């Protein structure tokens, strides 16, 4: 670490944080007796906190964001250069990086042509919900306004995003919710909820059709799905699932909205998660990895067909997308995103993600032979989960406190991993891993070995 920071140097920071900062997703009682953790520096895969302790970060900044790793001076330079030239103008006007990134991005997404900029995954998803509602008003006389979402998926933190939340603990106590959102069943075969064990992929997709028929196809405008469910337990869709979802949506004229906030921009070894499955989306949203956390940026990407519905009657004062995103006009976001994408291309990070993801899954499967508590290992690229169970036969979930103890033990060893966190009552039992796309074999082996140690210490 270049700057050696002793605890004393940062005591003022720690006290100020304790006194004034309200952290996300944290119960603060513990901070009355423990110091808040302050992250001070990052380089590559590693971060250092205010005590000087070094960590290998297996969750890319906690929430799967820093895809190209810490300390990228070329991104910092691109952002700085852009800020001193032109930092901001509201997005009714364009910007140089906004224009260039939209072109570069849509080149990676055949069939998609238009990019709407905003600042968070929640906001990007809200844009789609608004577009679907406006299409309903203008094209369908108010019909086709409902939006389907899936059990165990997450789409963001605002009240409407929580109205589309398949994770009950995330949404609990924040109602009343926005009406018109309807849940469909999850597609996690390990927790098969149907009678027939056969052809689970088609069965889980058919369950969506059952909901559509129950609600009435003419009431439903869109379905919002994660390509691979991330925080809900790393759920890789079963064989045949996406093909059937596409057929169902085509049949009932339901628009497909893929939430790529986690999977987008390389995380699963393709540019986008849906590209593993041949899906043809109408909307794709993305945020975290778009600029790896070097600037706040999210994108709502649509087809030209969707876009054209918002410009065909120039005489109508309400006949266009009347959304405003003040900070969608920050030029730092697309400037960082352009450089982030260049790094992924020039360093062959998609290919690395594929190889390192395989290695991580192999390592975890080796651990599974030793530790009966690992019920299932699943993932794609560097989005990997290990579901912990008390008993492999009954698949009874491991106690949440024990899973938390595994995470804590890894942290003690200097490796930061994650888990399903306040998401699913009784099912917060999956260890979640999303190391940066620059991971090396040594990093992957260090992460795996810390998990092995922790499982041994906690479960024996
Ligand atoms: C799949 C998915 N969609 C949307 C969001 C919301 O993104 P943000 O926190 O940037 O609003 C998240 C955040 O974790 C997410 O995992």
pLDDT tens-place values along the chain, 460 residues long: 444 445 557 999 999 999 999 999 999 999 999 999 999 999 999 999 999 999 999 999 999 999 999 999 999 999 999 999 999 999 999 999 999 999 999 999 999 999 999 999 999 999 999 999 999 999 999 999 999 999 999 999 999 999 999 999 999 999 999 999 999 999 999 999 998 878 999 999 999 999 999 999 999 999 999 999 999 999 999 999 999 999 999 999 999 999 999 999 999 999 999 999 999 999 999 999 999 999 999 999 999 999 999 998 999 999 999 999 999 999 999 999 999 999 999 999 999 999 999 999 999 999 999 999 999 999 999 999 999 999 999 999 999 999 999 999 999 999 999 999 999 999 999 999 999 999 999 999 999 999 999 999 999 9
CA distances (Å), origin 298, targets 169, 295, 404:
25, 10, 31
Q: Are 63 and 229 in contact (CB under 8 A)?
A: no
Strand partners of residue 57: 416
Q: CA dihedral in degrees (214, 218, 224, 225; nearest 10)?
A: 50
Nearest atom (ligand 1) to Cα of 123: 11
Task: For residue 43, tell me if it sits in a domain.
Answer: yes
Report CA(164)–ligand 1 centroid distance (Å).
Answer: 12
Which residues touch 420 (CB under 8 Å, ≥6 apart)?
231, 232, 233, 427, 428, 429, 430, 432
Q: Is residue 174 part of a domain?
A: yes
Query: How many domains is the chain partitioned into structurally?
Result: 2
Ligand 1 centre and the CA of 172: distance in Å?
17
H-helix or E-strand spanning residue 84: helix 73-85
Supply the DSSP symbol for 16.
H
Look up the domain containing 181 and give its range.
74-346
Say whether both 223 and 187 belong to one domain.
yes
Helix orientation angle between 400-412 and 441-459, rounded to the nearest 10 degrees? 130
Residue 85 forms part of a structural domain: yes
Specify the CATH number for the domain of residue 371: 3.90.1150.10
Rounded Cα distance, 44 and 61, in Å: 11
Ligand 1, atom 8, lies closest to the CA of 121
- For residue 156, the CA-to-ligand 1 centroid distance in Å is 5
Instruction: Please indicate, yes or no, whether residues 254 and 157 belong to a single structural domain of this protein.
Output: yes
**Residue 210 in domain:** yes
Q: How far is the CA of 437 from the centre of ligand 1 (A)?
A: 19
Co-location of 198 and 333 in the same domain:
yes
59, 228, 261, 422, best to mutate for ligand 1 pocket (most atoms within 8 Å of CB)? 261
Q: Ligand 1 centroid to 27 CA: how many Å?
A: 20
Question: Is the domain of 286 the same as that of 317?
Answer: yes
> DSSP label at 261?
T
Domain boundary among 327, 346, 365: 346
Same domain? For 352 and 336 the reply is: no
Residue 1 maps to a domain: no
Residue 2 lies in a domain: no
Whether residue 3 is contained in a domain is answered as: no
Q: Tell me the C-alpha distance between 50 and 37, whole Å.
A: 7
CB 378 within 8 Å of CB 384: yes
Question: How much distance in Å is there from the Cα of 122 to the middle of ligand 1?
Answer: 6
Final residue in a domain of this structure, among 346, 379, 412:
346
Domain check: are 255 and 393 in the same one?
Answer: no
Nearest CA to ligand 1 atom 5: 156
Q: How far apart are CA 386 and CA 406, in angstroms?
A: 12
Instruction: State whether 62 and 79 are in the same domain.
Output: no
Residue where one domain finishes, among candidates 312, 346, 380: 346
Comparing CA positions, the residue from 244, 295, 262 lying closest to residue 83 is 295
The CA R_g of the chain, rounded to the nearest whole Å, is: 22
What does 104-141 look like in DSSP terms, one character per residue?
HHHHTSTT--EEEEESSHHHHHHHHHHHHHHHHHHHST
Considering the domain architecture, whether residues 105 and 128 belong to the same structural domain is answered as: yes
Tell the residue nearest (CA) to atom 16 of ligand 1.
262
Q: Are residues 150 and 270 in the same domain?
A: yes
Ligand 1 atom with the smallest distance to the CA of 288 is 10
pTM over 0.85: yes
For ligand 1, the distance from its centroid to the CA atom of residue 269, given in whole angstroms, is 19
Residues 183 and 232 in one domain: yes
Q: Tell me whether residue 351 is exposed, middle or buried, using C-beta atoms within 10 angstroms of its C-beta: 0 to 12, 13 to 18, 19 or more.
A: exposed
Q: Which residues, judged by CB distance below 6 Å to any ligand atom, belong to the binding site of ligand 1?
A: 63, 120-122, 125, 154-157, 226, 230-231, 259, 261-262, 287
Instruction: State phi, psi for 60 to the nearest 5 degrees.
Output: 45, 55
Residues 29 and 50 in one domain: yes
CA of 257 to the centre of ligand 1 (A): 14
Angle between helices 96-107 and 332-346 (to 10 degrees): 40
Q: Cα torsion for 275, 279, 283, 285, to the nearest 10°?
A: -30
CATH code where residue 267 lies: 3.40.640.10
Preceding peptide of 277 cis, ω within 30°: no
End-to-end CA distance of the chain: 35
The residue nearest atom 7 of ligand 1, judged by CA position, is: 121
Both 326 and 370 in one domain: the answer is: no
| Tokens linked to 432 | 């979640």
Q: Is residue 183 part of a domain?
A: yes
């Amino acid at each position: 670490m270049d700057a050696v920071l002793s605890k004393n140097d940062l005591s003022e920071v720690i006290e100020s944080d304790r006194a004034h900062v309200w952290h996300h997703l944290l119960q603060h009682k513990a901070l009355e007796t423990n110091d808040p953790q302050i992250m001070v520096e990052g380089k590559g895969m590693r971060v250092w906190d205010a005590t000087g302790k070094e960590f290998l970060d297996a969750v890319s900044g906690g929430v799967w964001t820093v895809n190209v790793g810490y300390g990228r001076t070329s991104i910092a330079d691109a952002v700085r250069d852009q800020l001193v030239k032109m930092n901001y103008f509201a997005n009714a006007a364009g910007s140089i990086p906004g224009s260039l990134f939209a072109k570069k991005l849509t080149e990676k997404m055949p069939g998609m042509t238009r990019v709407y900029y905003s600042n968070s995954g929640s906001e990007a998803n809200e844009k789609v919900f608004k577009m679907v509602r406006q299409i309903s008003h203008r094209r369908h006389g108010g019909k086709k306004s409902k939006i389907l979402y899936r059990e165990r998926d997450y789409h963001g933190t605002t009240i409407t995003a929580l109205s589309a939340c398949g994770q009950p603990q995330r949404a609990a106590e924040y109602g009343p919710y926005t009406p018109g959102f309807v849940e469909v069943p999850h597609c996690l075969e390990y927790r098969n909820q149907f009678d027939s064990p056969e052809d689970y992929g088609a069965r889980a997709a058919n369950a969506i059709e059952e909901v559509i028929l129950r609600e009435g196809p003419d009431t439903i405008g869109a379905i919002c799905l994660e390509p691979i469910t991330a925080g809900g337990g790393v759920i890789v869709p079963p064989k045949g699932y996406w093909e059937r979802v596409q057929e169902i949506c085509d049949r009932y004229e339901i628009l497909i909205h893929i939430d790529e906030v986690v999977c987008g921009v390389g995380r699963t070894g393709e540019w986008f998660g849906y590209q593993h499955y041949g899906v043809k989306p109408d909307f794709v949203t993305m945020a975290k990895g778009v600029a790896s956390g070097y600037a706040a940026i999210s994108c709502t990407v649509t087809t030209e067909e969707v876009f054209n519905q918002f410009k065909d009657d120039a005489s109508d004062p309400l006949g266009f997308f009347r959304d405003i995103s003040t900070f969608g006009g920050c030029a730092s976001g697309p400037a960082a995103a352009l450089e982030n994408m260049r790094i992924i291309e020039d360093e062959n990070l998609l290919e690395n993600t594929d190889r390192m993801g395989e290695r991580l899954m192999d390592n975890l499967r080796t651990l599974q032979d030793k530790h009966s508590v690992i019920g299932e290992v699943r993932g794609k690229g560097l989005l990997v989960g290990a579901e912990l169970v008390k008993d492999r036969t009954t698949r009874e979930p491991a106690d949440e406190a024990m899973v938390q103890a595994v995470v804590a033990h890894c942290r003690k060893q200097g490796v930061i991993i994650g888990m399903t966190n306040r998401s699913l009552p009784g099912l917060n039992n999956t260890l979640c891993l999303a190391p940066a796309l620059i991971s090396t074999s040594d990093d992957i082996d260090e992460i795996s070995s810390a998990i092995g140690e922790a499982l041994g210490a906690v479960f024996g």
